A and B are shown apart, each in its own frame.
Chain A
Amino acid sequence: GAGVSQSPSNKVTEKGKDVELRCDPISGHTALYWYRQRLGQGLEFLIYFQGNSAPDKSGLPSDRFSAERTGGSVSTLTIQRTQQEDSAVYLCASSLVYQPQHFGDGTRLSIL
């Protein structure tokens, strides 16, 4: 079946611009997660949505980062006024309750 879909697969932008990254979770998965992976480092948690509960935003590194999940399905991660240290692969994952997470292919973000 269809997996987690992320778009775009690659994004190059200039420092200071805003970017939006999209995630389509597996149909029926109530939980959705965003992580990022900077070069040579492990995956770093950003934000977690579970059903209608308030999201866990504890991993967002600054107020330039925000995310929303509309209709309990698609999610958008927005980075405002991008900085070079935002360059990373941004990964989205989804899961059913009490089940392991399924990951998308990620969006490779490069800030010039």
Chain B
Amino acid sequence: AQSVSQHNHHVILSEAASLELGCNYSYGGTVNLFWYVQYPGQHLQLLLKYFSGDPLVKGIKGFEAEFIKSKFSFNLRKPSVQWSDTAEYFCAVNADRGSTLGRLYFGRGTQLTVWP
């Protein structure tokens, strides 16, 4: 079975600090990778996704993530965080079956708190 590990449960940063959230997965086949974000009081929203092609993907709000296949990693980065980035971030993976996406395997989430 696939599993997803997020290394940090809670990250606290000051505004303008750089952010990197770790995500590792266990699955030997072709995968699709996602980062979702949940702002306080809101539903889960897609931040960015990787299906194929350039392993460096850019998402909304200045976030990016890099897929490193050899390390089974898909770390999320942002060069300068803002107070409004305070949220919970979830890494998710599913197996690429070519025609459908199927179930997602989620990490436990990382709560990011940004102090103004």
Contacts and interface: CB of A to CB of B under 8 A. Distances in A.
Report whether chain A binds chain B: yes
Contacts of A20: none
A27 B36 CA distance: 22
A106 interface: yes
A59 interface: yes
A104 interface: yes
A43 B103 contact: no
A41 B105 contact: no
A36 to B, nearest CB: 11
A33 B43 contact: no
A95 B44 contact: no
A57 to B, nearest CB: 11
A71 to B, nearest CB: 20
A33 B34 contact: no
Interface string B101-112: 111111111000
B43 A42 contact: no
A45 B103 contact: yes
Nearest to B103: A45
Contacts of A106: 43
Interface in B30-68: 34, 36, 42-46, 49
A59 B34 contact: no
Contacts of A56: 102-103
Nearest to B105: A45
16 contacts: A3-B43, A4-B43, A35-B104, A42-B90, A42-B108, A42-B109, A45-B104, A50-B100, A59-B103, A91-B44, A95-B101, A99-B101, A100-B34, A100-B49, A101-B46, A105-B43
Q: What are the nearest 8 A-B pairs in CB distance?
A: A103-B44, A43-B106, A42-B108, A42-B106, A45-B103, A105-B43, A103-B43, A100-B46
Interface of A: 3-4, 31, 33, 35, 40-45, 48, 50, 56, 59, 91, 93, 95, 97-106
Interface of B: 4, 34, 36, 42-46, 49, 90, 92, 99-109
